Structure 1
Amino acid sequence: MVITLNVPTVLVVAGFDPSCGAGYVADVLTCRIVGVYAVVVPTCIVVQDLDRVYAVYDVDHKVQREIVNSVTKCLEIKCIKVGVIRSRHCVDLVRDLVTELKCPLVVDPIHRARDGTTLTPLEVLQYLLRELGSYITVLTPNIEEAELLSGRSIEGIDDVVEVAKYLTELGPRAVLIKGGHLPTSSKVIDVLYDRGSGVVKFFEHTRVGVKFHGIGCVLSSLVASHLAKGMGVVDAVEASTSLLDTMIQYSYPIALGTEYSVVNVLAPLERDALRYRVLCSVKCAVELLERYGDVVSCLVPEVQMNLVEALPHPYAKSIQDVVGIPGRIVRVGGRVKAVSAPDFGASRHVARAVLTAMKFNPEVRSCANIVYCEELVRVLKELGYRISSFNRAEEPEHVKATEGASIPWGIETAIKKVGYVPDAVIDYGDWGKEPHIYIFGKDAGDVVRKLIEVARKWKGDQ
């Protein structure tokens, strides 16, 4: 017996952006991340990069109708998402579709690109509202588009609420106005008004100081995906804004010569996969360390050892993104033993050391602390290890007074002293602070192999 999964499908009506940060490429990726399938009716090809538009070529409306006929024959469409739409013919096509399918409709009324190029002509937007207004489940304009469609100016958050309510009078059940273009100090506030329930809801996000390309496309596709899965409007928007926060948090620049980033829509999936991978990496490294426990036991300091590995950039934000050993690695009967299974957030000091190193070299994601003595430093030098150090006697008073600041200060000082992340950093300790040597590597296995090499050389010299 073959079991088939009934995966909801979103029909995306949008343009092609060759940078893939916006348009239907971003829409499809977003839908798939949420667990929804997506098919596309292209409206145009926009020749652009992250900064500007060079040309726009429309797709013939007859071709669009042929595509609709082909994709709707074998797929059950649970929601329609509209982005850039260039003609009345295309509006009529969407109207016919939503009338036939009787499914939710999400419209992102994209009027202009950031360089001012018109994408959806104003007359088409106005026609869209007249013809599709009563079918729209969620309309997702930004501040400028909300002003354009309503004919009202927006100066503050109260105006956003009033304009959202007014736009629902034109037909849409709900309006989500994106607040990124509204100067509201350190916060971005999106406003949802759901005429169906009378709910006004505010979604606050930290303003990250980065300009994003395609953020509106991603948000509207998230909403469409959650509606396709059967969520109500308010729940769908709440889930979408929360997921978008995660995608933004782990975004990073992808192109030279531009100030814009694209939303990392793969972040939720990548982060979970990487967490599993790093846990497995540390687990295997600990098994190797224990296998050579009689060799490396001489390296365990009085405060015991920890072995950590951080998630790759850009996912390593705090010690909660670093795997360590709860209870540390201890010396028992001339061997070493991990007290517990590897887990996230299990280390503070060694985790802070590797997070600091990653700021200078993201490829260095692992670290272990070992005992300090002059003979061991000699061994490291003979093995060709690059070494730096820091002296806590030079630590500024304000750093000493800040909880958790000493190790980051020390590691940063040692790195800046030599201009790169070394293989080993010596912490000479202080009153009540045992000296250490931090061994760095690209992953936990790399660090453990270094520990075995160092311990063998040291024992052989004794």
Structure 2
Amino acid sequence: MLVFSGFDPSGGAGILQDISIMKMFKISPKAIISAYTVQNEKEFKSVEFRENFEEFDLFDKFFLIKVGMANSKQIKILRKRYNESKIIWNPVIKTSSGYNIIPPEDVNEGSKYVDLMIMNSEEYEVTDIKCDVIITGGHKNTEKIEIIYKNKRFYSPRYKKELHGTGCVFSSLISAHIHIGYTIEESITASLYYMNKLVENSESSVETERITYEIHRDYIIKELWKIKPEIIKLGKYTIPEVGQNIAFAMPEAKNENDVGKFPGRIHKLGDEINFIHEPAFFGKSHMARAVIATMKYFPWIRSGMNIMYKKEYIKKAEEKGYKTFYLDRSKEPIEIQTKEGYSIPYGLSNIYETTKEPVDFVWDDGFYGKEAMIRVFGRNPKEVIKKVRDVVLSD
């Protein structure tokens, strides 16, 4: 795929947004800027269309070309250079702020050279299109948004918010689905599903990163599933009486709901290792709190696991060159000891203020009502499990 679109410095629309959408579908497009704009989410000041494209010499052919802000002269050049490509054009006649980009006549001329156009109803009504067209009714004052393609109608909920980049995102979603083999009708249906999710979770502009963030959450869960066999294998050596957990936080995690873990902890009954729940983001977890406290100092240390305390584990960790630190819990202020969830973050903060660098193993020898424990930290669960394996299994 080639994305041929304008550069919007705000990132809410244009080529930056187009590429973000394609990446959601594992499409790695080539990209050529068609125009440079001066704009943000609220204001559009100017546009300068490019005339010469040396980049065309770099690429022989494309299955599909998604075109955003462009004029008919550029469309003609695209069609001549890539005569076998499917071209989808989402033209811009006028911005939402009222800035004139190209006249309707220019859209009519360009439509002769493309396979499919995606236009809002207002702009479609002032043009005479010469190809297939998807008409979006976001500008109409109706209860639902109506999409029309060849007299077929599709509907989407209308949200009470004005977002920058909706037209760009919808046309990119359509293009992505067509690229991976959907029919136009099925592309519209699927794209409306994604648009609803994006609009519902966006504020001033369409925040594609919100869905990407959700995909990242799936990755976190999969990484926890991967190390479950290792947890079972090591459990007889590592699981303390209070139970065990391993946490893997999202980047920028702020609370326990941003951290993947095994809710309810992992317990040992004889030689049996029991998981109360599959990996998830809900539930309380002291290791989730410990990881968040660590990330405030070292954001790349996103995973942690608690294991039973044995003096030989710490000795072996030090022999292997890991950094260890003793946490003296008897020195915690009373107000910290009596507040649920405050103790470990408080202790870790004091440690990191001292070390100024990450610590692999933080251990304590217990306190009144508290079991002795070792906490192991790393970049991800795989790294944490390796550290645990290094100290609990014999060489």
- What TM-score comes out, normalization by structure 2 length? 0.63
Residue 233 of structure 1 pairs with residue 170 of structure 2: no
Q: Which sections of structure 1, spanning at least 5 residues, go unmatched?
A: 1-9, 152-166, 254-258, 370-378, 391-413, 415-420, 426-445
Give, in whole Å, the separation in 2 of the partners of 1:229 and 1:422: 50
Alignment CA distance shift 1:212-1:126 (3 Å): same
1:267-321 Cα shifts (integer Å, max 9, x gaps): 465344333345557887787775333xx31xx2xxxx573647526899997x8
Residue 148 of structure 1 pairs with residue 93 of structure 2: no
Alignment CA distance shift 1:43-1:348 (3 Å): closer
Give the deviation of 1:84 after TM superposition: 0.8
Query: Could you tell me whether the CA contact under 8 Å between 2:86 and 2:115 is conserved in 1?
Result: yes
Amino acid in structure 2 at the alignment position of 1:422: Y
Residue 28 of structure 1 pairs with residue 12 of structure 2: no
**Corresponding residue number in structure 2 for 1:340:** 275
1:315-355 Cα shifts (integer Å, max 9, x gaps): 99997x8644477433535xx9641397234x865279979
Amino acid in structure 1 at the alignment position of 2:342: P
Indicate the RMSD between aligned Cα atoms, in angstroms. 5.0
Q: Which sections of structure 2, spanning at least 5 residues, go unmatched?
A: 307-327, 346-357, 373-395
**Secondary structure of 1:40's aligned partner:** strand
Give the deviation of 1:46 after TM superposition: 1.2
Amino acid in structure 2 at the alignment position of 1:83: G
The equivalences for 1:8-27 within 5 A come to 10-27=1-18
Which of 77, 80, 88 is equivalent to 2:65?
A: 80
Give the deviation of 1:244 after TM superposition: 4.3
Alignment CA distance shift 1:219-1:286 (3 Å): farther
**Secondary structure of 2:63's aligned partner:** strand
The equivalences for 1:411-426 within 5 A come to 422-423=342-343
Give the deviation of 1:388 after TM superposition: 7.0
Give, in whole Å, the separation in 2 of the partners of 1:349 and 1:40: 43
Alignment CA distance shift 1:170-1:202 (3 Å): same
**Corresponding residue number in structure 1 for 2:43:** 52
Which of 270, 285, 298 is equivalent to 2:216?
A: 270
Residue 202 of structure 1 pairs with residue 147 of structure 2: no
**Corresponding residue number in structure 1 for 2:93:** 111
**Secondary structure of 2:364's aligned partner:** helix
The equivalences for 1:123-138 within 5 A come to 123=103, 125-132=104-111, 135-138=114-117
**Corresponding residue number in structure 1 for 2:331:** 382
Give the deviation of 1:177 after TM superposition: 0.8
Give, in whole Å, the separation in 1 of the partners of 2:55 and 2:175: 20
Alignment CA distance shift 1:459-1:37 (3 Å): closer
The equivalences for 1:48-447 within 5 A come to 48-60=39-51, 63-64=52-53, 66-68=54-56, 70-72=57-59, 74-75=60-61, 77-85=62-70, 87-96=71-80, 100-101=83-84, 103-118=85-100, 120-121=101-102, 123=103, 125-132=104-111, 135-141=114-120, 146-151=121-126, 170-177=129-136, 179=138, 189-195=144-150, 198-204=151-157, 207=159, 212-245=163-196, 259-260=204-205, 262-264=207-209, 266-267=212-213, 269-279=215-225, 291-293=237-239, 296-297=240-241, 300=242, 305=243, 307=245, 309=247, 312=250, 323-325=260-262, 328-332=265-269, 338-340=273-275, 343-345=278-280, 349-350=283-284, 380=329, 382-383=331-332, 387=336, 422-423=342-343
**Secondary structure of 1:175's aligned partner:** strand
Alignment CA distance shift 1:217-1:315 (3 Å): farther
Give, in whole Å, the separation in 1 of the partners of 2:227 and 2:201: 22
Equivalent residue pairs, number: 334
Q: State the identity as a percent.
A: 16
Alignment CA distance shift 1:17-1:385 (3 Å): farther
Alignment CA distance shift 1:147-1:250 (3 Å): closer
Amino acid in structure 1 at the alignment position of 2:275: S
**Corresponding residue number in structure 2 for 1:38:** 29
Alignment CA distance shift 1:454-1:26 (3 Å): farther
Query: Could you tell me whether the CA contact under 8 Å between 1:282 and 1:342 is conserved in 2?
Result: no
Alignment CA distance shift 1:19-1:172 (3 Å): same
1:102-158 Cα shifts (integer Å, max 9, x gaps): x4332222234444333x22x1x43223441584424142xxxx213315xxxxxxx
Give the deviation of 1:23 after TM superposition: 1.5
Give the deviation of 1:16 after TM superposition: 1.6
Alignment CA distance shift 1:241-1:311 (3 Å): farther
Give, in whole Å, the separation in 1 of the partners of 2:251 and 2:199: 14
**Secondary structure of 2:122's aligned partner:** helix
- What TM-score comes out, normalization by structure 1 length? 0.55
Amino acid in structure 2 at the alignment position of 1:307: N
Amino acid in structure 1 at the alignment position of 2:170: L
Amino acid in structure 2 at the alignment position of 1:80: I
**Secondary structure of 2:190's aligned partner:** helix
Amino acid in structure 2 at the alignment position of 1:329: I
1:396-453 Cα shifts (integer Å, max 9, x gaps): xxxxxxxxxxxxxxxxxx7xxxxxx73469xxxxxxxxxxxxxxxxxxxx9x966x53
* Mean Cα deviation higher: 234-243 or 169-178: 169-178
Query: Could you tell me whether the CA contact under 8 Å between 2:21 and 2:208 is conserved in 1?
Result: no
